[in-house]
Amino acid sequence: MKKRIFRSFFAVFTLAAFGTFTSFQFGCKPAGERAGPPEKIIIAYSTAMNAVLMYIALGKGYLAQEGLDVTPQPHAFGKLALEALIEGKADLATAADTPFMFAVMNGRKITALTAIQTSNLNEAIVAGKDRGIAVPADLKGKNIGVSLGTTSDFFADSFLLIHGIDREQVTFVDMKPDEMSEAIRNGKVDAVSTWNPTSSQLLKEFGNNGIIFYGETFYTEVFCVASDQDYVRNHPEAVRKVLRALIRAETFVKQQPDDARRLVADFIQMDKAALDEIWDIFTFRVTLDQALLVDLEDQTRWVIKNGLTARKDMPDYLDFIYVDGLRSVKPDAVRIIR
């Protein structure tokens, strides 16, 4: 009798243990390996070397493994990707802090899901010494190419202010990054404010005649993933899937940096040697921290001071940052004081 009781107990214990093991084993699988059709999503992203974690999430298939059927939508830079989101042509977009801030100030109901990349050396002013530019003060009275409404715009104005030059003492010429090289060659502008890889490419074109100015002590660019507030409200699980994929991409960068560089170079069709030269100026991390709030508020004060938008008051940016998604998948990545 005791043997039968023991055997019955052992069988029940074994089945329970196996059930627990299999539940753990299969419960940890990405959502894409579970039952149900993949959810369609359109992601607009910048190809300007500032959405690395998104490139990896796409290139490694992490988004698909989470159960998402992604339509990738590449754009030359973040402002264009964000415009696609605002126009209803995409569900998510990667964009830097400045175009995000402008969108909020212009009444767009968007929200930041996470930051994915930061750098205090990605923005720079590139100029030619033959234009009489050797130190920052020499920019006074010059024509400077910028991409208005982007980090290029904010950085240029901040750099000039730090060096005692008012916005009215230069002439800003609005242009896209791929137009800057020709604009300098034909004399349309004397200098340009832009980001990588354009800035590093231009400096090479200048050769010994080139000079570059950074602003690492006063500006750190924050690159984010943004979405429409209604989309987030109606698709919270899709948001979580994207965030989980980005977190896997972050881990891949940390654990296999060489493979990550090769993947990124292939994905955005960038020369690997050129990418290697600038890779270390970036920090690739999925996070929402107080620095993002401070950054957006600083840029808003700049916009209001210069009358660059109709709105003249400071928004509550907590209404434009979605913390619940990231908090649900990686709580320690959220460090915003509410």
- Residue 108 binned pLDDT confidence (cut-offs 50, 70, 90): very high
Residue 263 has pLDDT above 90, yes or no: yes
Q: Return the half-sphere exposure (C-beta side, CA atoms, 13 A cut-off) of residue 185.
A: 9
Instruction: Check residue 26 and give its pLDDT.
Output: 32
Instruction: Check residue 32 and give its pLDDT.
Output: 43
Instruction: Check residue 35 and give its pLDDT.
Output: 52
Report the range of poorest mean pLDDT among 16-30, 156-170, 258-272, 287-301: 16-30
- Residue 338 binned pLDDT confidence (cut-offs 50, 70, 90): confident
Q: pTM (2 decimals)?
A: 0.88
Share of the chain above pLDDT 90, in %: 88
Instruction: Check residue 92 and give its pLDDT.
Output: 98
Hey, do 36-119+221-335 and 123-214 end up sharing a CATH topology, with the first three levels equal? yes
pLDDT digits (tens, 9 = 90+) for 1-21: 434 333 333 333 333 333 333
Residue 256 has pLDDT above 50, yes or no: yes
Give mean pLDDT, residues 143-149: 97
Q: Return the half-sphere exposure (C-beta side, CA atoms, 13 A cut-off) of residue 128.
A: 18
Instruction: Check residue 155 and give its pLDDT.
Output: 98
Instruction: Check residue 337 and give its pLDDT.
Output: 83
Instruction: Check residue 28 and give its pLDDT.
Output: 41
> Residue 51 — φ and ψ, nearest 5°?
-135, 45
E-assigned strand segments in 149-219: 171-174, 191-195, 210-214
Give mean pLDDT, residues 144-156: 97
Tell me the CATH class for 36-119+221-335.
alpha beta
> Residue 102 — φ and ψ, nearest 5°?
-60, -40
Kindly provide the b/e burial profile for residues 218-227, where b requires at least 16 CB atoms within 10 angstroms of the residue's own CB: ebbbbbbbbb
> Where are the chain's structural domains?
36-119+221-335, 123-214
Tell me the CATH class for 123-214.
alpha beta
Instruction: Check residue 24 and give its pLDDT.
Output: 32
- Pairwise CA distance, residues 56 & 248, whole Å: 9
Q: What is the mean pLDDT of the chain?
A: 91
Instruction: Check residue 9 and give its pLDDT.
Output: 36
Helix axes 97-105, 78-86, angle to 10 degrees: 30
pLDDT digits (tens, 9 = 90+) for 188-243: 999 999 999 999 999 999 999 999 999 999 999 999 999 999 999 999 999 999 99
Cα angle: 112, vertex 195, 56; to 5 degrees: 55
Closest CA to 135 of 235, 245, 213: 213
pLDDT digits (tens, 9 = 90+) for 16-55: 333 333 333 333 444 444 457 999 999 999 999 999 999 9
Instruction: Check residue 2 and give its pLDDT.
Output: 38
pLDDT digits (tens, 9 = 90+) for 47-86: 999 999 999 999 999 999 999 999 999 999 999 999 999 9
What is the residue-wise DSSP string for 234-295? H-HHHHHHHHHHHHHHHHHHHH-HHHHHHHHHHHTT--HHHHHHHGGG-EEEEEEEHHHHHH
What is the residue-wise DSSP string for 60-113? TTHHHHTTEEEEEEEESSHHHHHHHHHTTS-SEEEEEHHHHHHHHHTT--EEEE
Instruction: Check residue 19 and give its pLDDT.
Output: 39
* CB neighbour list of residue 130: distance below 8 Å, 6 or more residues apart: 209
Closest CA to 202 of 262, 145, 162: 145
Residue 244 has pLDDT above 60, yes or no: yes
